[in-house]
Structure 1
Amino acid sequence: MGIKSFQGKRSNSPEKKSELILVSDYMTKNLITFKENQPIEDVIDSLIKNKISGGPVINDKNELIGIISEGDCMKQISESRYYNLPMDTNNTVGKAMIKQVETIDGNMNILDAVNKFLESKRRRFPIVDNGKLVGQISQKDVLIAAMKLKGNTWK
């Protein structure tokens, strides 16, 4: 006579509910923003002082109209320094910013945001609600969320 099971009767264990971790749970809400008519030199100073690599550009109604990065500022420097000229005082954020900005929904699952970061190769995404800028999520924010997820659900 053979032994059928060493474990005894198996009961159906209740499924673990996985909690959704939303982008809005980890987004930065206190943002450094820029205005369209600001000089590029002000942006460069702010990026250096605040140790950030870029930021959203908003209008007076807090609506997202663009995004400016270190790279956009470097292009402005490169053009003036190539000709050994001082930076043009007419170089404003509006002339250098990217106007077609991809955004992420604050209600998106953080793991879906990971895929969006990987597909787009962007470092940050603004979050807009009803046309207004409400936050921004960066790759670092996603990494922080992943480490918390690890602590809660991974073994």
Structure 2
Amino acid sequence: MAIKSFQGARRQSQSTEDIPLKVSDYMTTKLITFNPEQSVEEVIESLIRYKISGGPVVNEKNELIGIISEGDCIKHISESRYYNMPMENNTIENRMVRNVETIDGNMNIFDAANKFLSDKRRRFPIVENGKLVGQISQKDILKATVKLKGQQWGK
């Protein structure tokens, strides 16, 4: 008597080429952005209203010129109180980080995860042809891994 297979039907495995693994597949494209002329108070209100920890600063051509974060705003508040200076008329141009490191939208999400760890950043803007096209955050990387759960983790 012959032994029949006891494993049953097998699912077709999804090839790694079908699994989206690029930063551009998971980046946020509808961003809250700021302009350099905005006041720190406006930024603080936006950070609270939209429940975000920071955002890119762009010029009128949508070119990335900096990034502003909760920490930058807190530093402004702390310094103005320490020196007993009024907070109004202080634009984010004076508070934003200008040398912003970006990453390529074609980067593998696992390489991006390593970059987050090594650079200790919360977000990276993605720029194409000089224009801001999106941003990837640590939370976006986590969302990507949840979507990929059960899939092959190959590159």
TM-score, with length taken from structure 2: 0.84
Residues 1:149 and 2:148 are matched in the alignment: yes
Per-residue deviation, 1:84: 3.8
**Aligned Cα root-mean-square deviation (Å):** 1.6
Whether the 8 Å contact between 1:38 and 1:92 is mirrored in structure 2 is yes
Moved more, 46-55 or 75-84: 75-84
Q: Which position in structure 1 is the counterpart of 2:47?
A: 47
Structure 2: tracts of 5 or more residues without a match = 1-12
TM-score, with length taken from structure 1: 0.84
Per-residue deviation, 1:16: 7.3
1:151 match: secondary structure: coil
Q: Which position in structure 2 is the counterpart of 1:25?
A: 25
Aligned residue type for 1:64 = L
Structure 1: tracts of 5 or more residues without a match = 1-14
Q: Which position in structure 2 is the counterpart of 1:119?
A: 118
Q: Runs in 1 of length 4+ with deviation above 6 angstroms?
A: none
The separation in 1 between residues aligned to 2:54 and 2:14, in whole angstroms, is: 40
The separation in 2 between residues aligned to 1:74 and 1:16, in whole angstroms, is: 47
Q: Which position in structure 1 is the counterpart of 2:77?
A: 77
Aligned residue type for 1:29 = T
Q: Which position in structure 1 is the counterpart of 2:7?
A: none
Larger Rg: 1
Give the aligned length: 139
1:142 match: secondary structure: helix
